[in-house]
Amino acid sequence: MSRLDAAISERPITQLAIPGSHHSASADVDPKSEVESNLSPMLRALGSTSMIRETMAKWMQHQKISVKEQLESGIRYFDFSIEHTANDRFFVVNGLRCNQIDDYLDDLYRFLSEQSREIVIVKMDKFTSFSSENLKDFERFIEQKFGDLIVKQKQNADAESLAEWSLERCWRKKKQIIFLFDTAFPLRIAWPISRYAKVNQSGSDCVEEVIDRLKDTTLSRELEVLQIDESVLSLQLSDALRNPMTTFEKQYGRQATREIVQFIRKNSPKNLNVVAVDFCEEADFAQSIIALNK
* pLDDT, position 224: 92
Q: Considering the entire predicted model, what is its pTM?
A: 0.95
The Cα–Cα gap between 260 and 46 comes to 33
Domains and CATH numbers, the chain: 6-290 (3.20.20.190)
Which tens digit of pLDDT belongs to each residue from 103-124? 999 999 999 999 999 999 999 9
Reported in sequence order, the residue ranges of 134-279 that DSSP labels E, i.e. its strands, are 177-181, 190-192, 197-201, 226-230, 274-277
Does residue 39 come out as left (phi exceeding 0), alpha (psi in the -120 to 50 range) or beta? beta
Looking at the predicted structure, is the pLDDT value of residue 227 above 60? Answer: yes
pLDDT in tens, 130-189: 999 999 999 999 999 999 999 998 755 555 789 999 999 999 999 999 999 999 888 889
> What is the overall mean pLDDT for the chain?
93
- CB-based contact 28:98 (threshold 8 Å): yes
Cα(139)–Cα(133) distance, integer angstroms: 10
Q: Residues 20-79: pLDDT tens digits? A: 999 999 999 999 998 998 888 877 887 888 988 998 999 999 999 999 999 999 999 999
Average pLDDT over residues 86-95: 94
- Amino acid 160: pLDDT: 72
pLDDT in the model for residue 156: 53
* Sequence-ordered list of residues with C-beta below 8 angstroms from that of 80, at least 6 positions apart, any chain: 24, 25, 92, 101, 104, 122, 123, 124, 125
Whether residue 13 is predicted with pLDDT greater than 60 in this model: the reply is yes
- Of 42-46, 97-101, 286-290, the poorest mean pLDDT is in 42-46
- pLDDT digits 0-9 by tens, 240-275: 777 778 899 999 999 999 999 999 999 999 999 999
Res 47: pLDDT? 81
What DSSP assignment string belongs to 118-134?
--EEEEEEEEET--HHH
Asked which of 9-23, 81-95, 148-162 is least confident by mean pLDDT, the reply is 148-162
Strands (E), the chain: 18-21, 77-84, 90-94, 96-100, 120-128, 177-181, 190-192, 197-201, 226-230, 274-277
The dihedral of CA 168, 6, 68, 287: what is its sign?
A: positive
